[in-house]
Structure 1
Amino acid sequence: MADTTIEDTPEPGPRRRGGLAGMLHRSDALRGYLLMSPTLLIMLVGIVAPFVILLTMSLWTRSGFEFDTTLTLANYERTWNEPIFGALLKRSFWISGVATAATVILCYPMAYYVAFHVHRNKMMWIILMTLPFWTSYLLRVFAWKVILGYEGVVNSGLIALGFIDEPLGFLLYSQEAVIITLAHAWAAFAILPMYVSLEKIDKSLLEAATDLGDGPAARFLRVTLPLSMPGIIAACFLIFIPTTGDYITPALLGGPDGVMIGNFIQLQFGPANNWPMGATLAIILMLWIAAIAAVFLFVTRLAARRVA
């Protein structure tokens, strides 16, 4: 009987997919973009498209009661030549910068205390600190208008304690009133990112600094503060960017000295009916904020490298 040999046949390998399915199987980047496509579409429709419309409108001009859609840089030239626009920008950046610094300085100790000294029910502490900010922004602005008013809580309290004989008129309708209100209104946006940054710090690093002879002040300056800098930077951006274009608080509490660029933009889109000029001021404000943010990031990264 003849011997029969069975030849080994190679096992079939994985079939190579073709078309779009094959591209998705082979490319991790393409799969990632496909998963992000709904978000990218929303960003494209909700952010890019309005910006393009605003930029196009800024190149128009108003002719009587109608808009001339001929593209021109006349609005940008006007904002460059008339000093009122530069003065409004400087005032807006000053008020927003002071409010941002005050908010971060006042909120950092609260975030530090919860991160390092509260060991139970931390979420309850966070909720309690942010509870006042659950109310309407407009209601909080009106509350500060009552507090700082001519017969408000501050003036009445100072008179009752005998510190002043008559109410202080400069508390309301001033830049100081705008700064105080903005600092309070945006405090929650400073506490949360700084708390998260402080909570992530490895406590063993602080113990090591103590073993090496650092006292509380040196340990804070050399370890805690540099490691919490991402939260501080995030808080600065979350406060500075929206407060620069705020128009509600200056309109209700600012008075003539507290008018900001946001009020002028609202005026152009409202009673003045000069949408091209309003769009131009909005574009200029965005460019200035982007430039300031870029410089701020560059300086902070440079400082972090020197510290490291």
Structure 2
Amino acid sequence: MKAIVFETYGSTEVLRMRDVEKPLPKDNEVLVRVHAASVNAADWRMLRADPFLVRFYAGLLKPTKFQTLGADIAGRVEAVGKNVHQFQPGDEVFGDVFASGFGGFAEYKCARESELVLKPANISFEEAAAVPLAALTALHGLRDKGRIQAGQKVLINGASGGVGTFAVQLAKYFGAEVTAVCSTGKIDLALSLGADHVIDYTQEDFTRSRRQYDLILAVNGNRSIFDYRGALTPSGAYVMAGGSTGQLFQALLLGPWISLIGKQKMGALTSTPNQKDLLFMKALLESGKIKPIIDRHYPLSEVSKAIRYVEEGHAKGKVAIILECSE
């Protein structure tokens, strides 16, 4: 089968399309013929080993745990292991395969049974592949870490990207008053997703206004944690779910300390994909309450271009990979 592999850390120039051995499912695994995948910030961060801590997960000097990126997949079940009971050959599925070593940028992927759910019939493979990692990151940031409540004032910084477009929709679903922060060209998108207010960060600095929020979900940007603190209500919560490396370390190191000395809660999100929450998202997709936003799509041979585009930070929603073998 064909797969996009990397044998050393670096830019997208180190990515190569190779013929590799088709995997065989273990007893608890499902072999999926991948019809679509999607690109996440996790892909370019793993590729570049940024932050350096990535190396302790993937390999210190070079990637050894896995050599094919791609956490999100959607496709058809080709075969199942003897202990798999939820799926059978021919089923259309989607899921997040981060825990089983990435591998979505390939024609076939062996995934754990617990990483997949049946694809909603009302969306395409491309749309399904856009959901798992980004949507669950948004869900865990708002519901679990942020403890969102109906009627709260919620700000999404980076509202037009992969995680952000799901975050705006989910915050509205939970009954919040949503303020979306994005650039000029993405204002209409944010409003179409249900945002009550939109701040164009090229024209206005939300941290310098007098408005305060009960919950801030940061999925992009490079603002100081103290800037975010000033934009929170006295008992508000700040959740860092994406952005610069410096912003990440501030949330990890300073967030817990700030949370101890007052009523505000500040910190970084740790999101663990799980089948229960993926089923929750599936129900929202089937009901039409959530919709994936796809900016561009690329063939498997152009994964490097797709990752570069996402790394630039200007994508409206998600970027999909469509495999040539798809029907």
Normalising by the smaller structure, the TM-score range is under 0.3
Which is helix-richer, 1 or 2? 1
- TM-score, normalised on structure 2? 0.22
> Which one has a bigger Cα radius of gyration?
1
Which is strand-richer, 1 or 2? 2
Greater RCO, 1 or 2 (C-alpha within 8 Å, sep 6+): 1
- TM-score, normalised on structure 1? 0.23
